[in-house]
Amino acid sequence: MFDLRQPRAKIIQIFVYSRFRGTGVGARLVEEFKKRLNALQYISIEARVAEDMAASNVFWERQKFYVQRIAPGGKHRGKRGLMIAVRSHELGAPQLFGTSGITSTDPFGLAFSTAAEKPTFLLDLNVLFDIGPRRQRRGHVINLFRAERMDACNLAISSEILTELKRTCPQGKTDPIQDFVSILPTYAVPGNEEAERLLSDLAAKVFPTRSQLGSLTANDKSDLRHLVTAISHRLDGLVTSDSSILSAASELLSAYGLNVISPTAFSLDAFLPLDVFAIGSESDRILTISDVIDLDVSEIRELLSKLQVEKSQQLTQWATVDGPLSNCRRHLVRQNGEPIGYMTWHQPVSKSSISAMMAVDERSAGSVDCVRLMLSKLGEQTAKDQATLVRLGYPSSQFLVKKEAISLGFADNASAVSQLQKIVIKGLVTAENWQATQTSLILASGVRLPSEVPTFRNINQYIEIYTADGNRTHVPLLRLESMMAPALFCLPGRSGIITPVRRQFSEHLLQHLPQGSLLPQPRVQLYQQRHYLSHPKTLSKFTAGSLMFFYESQTHGGLGAIIAVGRVVRSYHQERTAMGHKELDPSVFEPNQLDVIGKTSAHTVTVFDNLNVLTTPVFGGTLREFGCGAPVKLLSTQTIDSEQVTSNKCDACRRPPDVNRQRREWQSSSLPCHIQPPEHRSVKP
């Protein structure tokens, strides 16, 4: 049933007899309808679907009907406040205005992100001088030029540098720097009135005292012309070692969008070697990941050559160069000693983005586990409580890398071949940090959250999003969290559950301890979606989308505190005799350990993801204040309301933390020797 009113059509209802559902009949009806409307020059089709009808919304999503807006639906089936998702599909008929460009593969419009292109940085003269021998910052400048050679950025100079070199070079002398800068692209210093006004404004920001006194030196004016050039040509930034310009960096970024950075930004912050991390993939297979050393480079080149990666790309994008590199990280995965995976990424200039390259030998038996291990290590590089745009490149012949990455929320990058991208928010998004998260998200990707914090209705409710290209769309909360994983949106009204876990299992299931292990780790750490096994009576507690707080009991040296929070994906009953690798591999249980959770014939399997380890555990004394009960009560799964959820995740947002009480709780708990009580200056919720 449909309504035709040129130039837009509306589908009123679509019905398929129950015997024939799931065979594609509905999709064929919609496809035929699209063809006929295209021939009649219609521009779009509308379909209205109740927000809480998850299966119907999935169907229309597959037919490429995106949510245009959310409208109130009035009373329906005894429900008040029902919301309707108004979906739209744009046809290919010619029209005055272009289509929105919103697709299911790129719902955030990341292909339009300003960070999609390689940034171009203008070089200051003091940076070029630091190339010389015995200069203190020489190593950082070398890393800067290495970054350009490896396609991480573009470097250029201003015509002011040529003028400045001629001014400072003694008569009759040869300046090697003049010959060197001639190989770099040059941007001319603008000489119009607007540039003069800009120079005056910059002088007040960078050299306020000397500008007021009218005592700017020749070097000061030269530095200002570099800034004018970068701003006028809309370049991404300026690389300089001048302390006055660097001190005004934040003001220049907010006023002109110019990123002023030091050469040190291209060197690794704190190059700590990666401990050899081993995963017990199978009984006869061990995967190890470690930093690349010189002896590994030839094997990496051989691996990439098998995957048909050109040698020129191996030296640039893949950083397969001999000798130590201090501007990028390189990890190699071995299976029983044989190299099967390689990953590298450059030191990000900005914390808001990271670009990595990944390759794997798909013929290897451990290739899937290898990809999961590398993606896990890549996820560890993103900053906590900050939005990061992660781009992942891979050889065109790879399938597993793309498949596993997409399952973690990555999407195709329409502006680049063989590249995926994903927004990562590591932490909890709350009403208190909503504005900070919104700002961070805009800087990283151009995507905007709604200005007001929405109230939680259900996990499938649609959240208004403004894409990177400025279009408005709506994304289900469940999908929004998955595409920004491990983000959890703790919206007002969203409840949760507290569920216990013993220390002997929490260490591997949650990875909350700061100290690693010399023994091979279980396979559960390879999974983004993990399994929590419990008594069959707990099934009703684990509803899809609930926030899942893990309470580590005090048994066997446990903390007696909430240590992490995740999200329930689904839960179901599984017969004990039918439990195999599908249920047990993503958990911490072996078949002979199931008696620990009861000798019942079936168990509840809860699939959870978006795991976030709390910076500071929430101990029993604090939990009692929130009304969550005594430690004995916390040994069974219980539901908590939205106010208790807010208290659990962000006590410091409600009142100043009681440092002495927290310190007493740390000291009174059975802590492992390597965990230290919090300091006064670093107590966090």
Task: Give the mean model confidence (pLDDT) for residues 151-173.
Answer: 80
Note whether 182 and 79 are same-domain residues: no
- Do residues 592 and 521 make contact, with C-beta atoms less than 8 angstroms apart? no
Range of the domain at 548: 496-682
Assigned domain for 432 exists: no
Residues 418 and 285 grouped into a single domain = yes
CATH at 649: 2.30.130.30
The beta-strand segments (E) located in 292-418 are 328-335, 338-346, 353-360, 387-393, 411-412
637 and 540 inside one domain: yes
- Among candidate residues 99, 125, 148, the one where a domain is terminated: 99
pLDDT digits (tens, 9 = 90+) for 530-580: 999 999 999 999 999 999 999 998 877 788 889 999 999 999 999 988 888
Mind listing the pLDDT tens digit for each residue in 381-411? 888 888 999 999 999 888 899 999 988 888 8
88 shares its domain with 121? no
CA proximity to 567, closest of 536, 612, 597: 612
Distance CA 340, CA 371 (A): 10
Q: Domain with 412 in it: what CATH number?
A: 3.40.630.30
527 plus 633 within the same structural domain: yes
Number of domains in the chain: 4
Asked if 256 and 139 touch (Cβ cutoff 8 Å), the reply is no
Residues 327 and 145 sit within 8 Å (Cβ to Cβ): no
Do 517 and 605 fall into the same domain? yes
The mean pLDDT value of the chain amounts to 83
Predicted confidence at residue 676, as pLDDT, reads 41
- Condensed to tens digits (0 to 9), the pLDDT of residues 2-33 reads 999 888 899 999 999 989 988 999 999 999 99
Residue 437 lies in a domain: no
Query: Are 23 and 139 found together in one domain?
Result: no
- 42 and 181, same structural domain? no
pLDDT for 486 beyond 90: yes
Residue 578 in domain: yes
Which of 49, 71, 99 represents a domain boundary (last residue)? 99
The per-residue pLDDT for 623 is: 83
Strand partners of residue 575: 602
Residues 559 and 604 both lie in one domain: yes
In this predicted structure, which of 245-249, 509-513, 563-567 has the lowest mean pLDDT? 509-513
Q: Nearest to residue 285, comparing CAs of 526, 83, 67, 595? A: 526
Question: What is the per-residue pLDDT for 656?
Answer: 40
> Per DSSP, what are the bridge partners of residue 291?
331
Least confident residue range of 93-97, 248-252, 363-367, 611-615:
93-97
Whether residue 7 is contained in a domain is answered as yes
Asked if 360 and 223 sit in the same domain, the reply is no
Residue 486, domain member (yes or no): no
195-225: b or e for each residue (b if 16 or more CB lie within 10 Å)? beebbebbbebbbeeebeeeebeeebebbbb
Residue 412 lies in a domain: yes
Task: Taking residues 357-384, report their average pLDDT.
Answer: 90
Assigned domain for 40 exists? yes
133, 84: one domain: no
My answer on whether omega of the bond before 7 falls inside 30° of 0, hence cis, is yes
**Residue 355 covered by a domain:** yes
The CATH number of the domain holding residue 152 is 3.40.50.1010
Mark which of 206, 240, 266 sits at the end of a domain: 266
Q: Are residues 340 and 367 in the same domain?
A: yes
